[in-house]
């Protein structure tokens, strides 16, 4: 049992939610970085040999966003934009089962590429599907609210 607890303490946030200490640390770090960036028009840290290294504002904002997710207690995975995802990775990102994702691929709702006997999903295609699904859900909720108002008035 002690081995499991020790392993959890050292596993990455891709595999487990952050601990309360990590959440607190991320929140304080995000605030400190935001303040430093505002004061210095970017983030300055000490590099090798103590030489100052300036982190560009766009990169600093990305770091703050990452820390924000951790401070909200979320597990975090960084995926480069051009990445080709396995069906399991894509399913995990949509929070659906792999068989359900496979149905979405086969029905043409999400574009994919065949690599040998395997399917790979381009990250931009997955994000486009997720955004379209969110838009459809928002439209459906607006329509339900409209119908509810009509019903209340009738």
Q: Please write the tens of the pLDDT for every residue from 102-154.
A: 999 999 999 999 989 999 999 999 999 999 999 999 999 999 999 998 888 86
- Residue 78 within a domain: no
Q: Which two tokens stand for residue 84?
A: 């080709």
- Residue 7 within a domain: no
- Residue 114 within a domain: yes
**Domain end call among 72, 97, 116:** 72
| pLDDT of res. 101 | 96
Please, are residues 119 and 87 in contact by the beta-carbon 8 Å criterion? yes
pLDDT reading at 81 higher than 70: yes
This prediction has a pTM of 0.57
- Residue 3 within a domain: no
Shared domain for 143 and 91, answered yes or no, is yes
* Domain total in the chain: 2
How many Å separate Cα 3 from the centre of its chain?
A: 29
CB count within 10 Å of CB 120 equals 16
Please, are residues 120 and 84 in contact by the beta-carbon 8 Å criterion? yes
**Please, what is the average pLDDT of the chain?**
87
Domain range holding 107?
84-153
């Amino acid at each position: 049992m002690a081995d499991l607890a020790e392993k959890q303490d050292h596993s990455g946030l891709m595999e487990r939610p952050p601990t309360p200490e990590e959440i607190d640390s991320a929140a304080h770090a995000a605030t400190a970085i935001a303040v430093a960036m505002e004061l210095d028009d970017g983030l300055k840290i000490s590099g090798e040999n103590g030489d100052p290294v300036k982190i560009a504002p766009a990169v600093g904002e990305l770091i703050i966003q990452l820390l924000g997710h951790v401070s909200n207690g979320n597990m975090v995975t960084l995926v480069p934009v051009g990445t080709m995802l396995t069906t399991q990775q894509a399913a995990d990102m949509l929070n659906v089962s792999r068989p359900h994702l496979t149905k979405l691929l086969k029905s043409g709702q999400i574009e994919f590429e065949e690599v040998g006997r395997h399917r790979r999903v381009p990250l931009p295609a997955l994000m486009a599907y997720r955004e379209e699904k969110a838009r459809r859900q928002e439209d459906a909720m607006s329509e339900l609210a409209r119908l509810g108002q009509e019903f209340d008035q009738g």
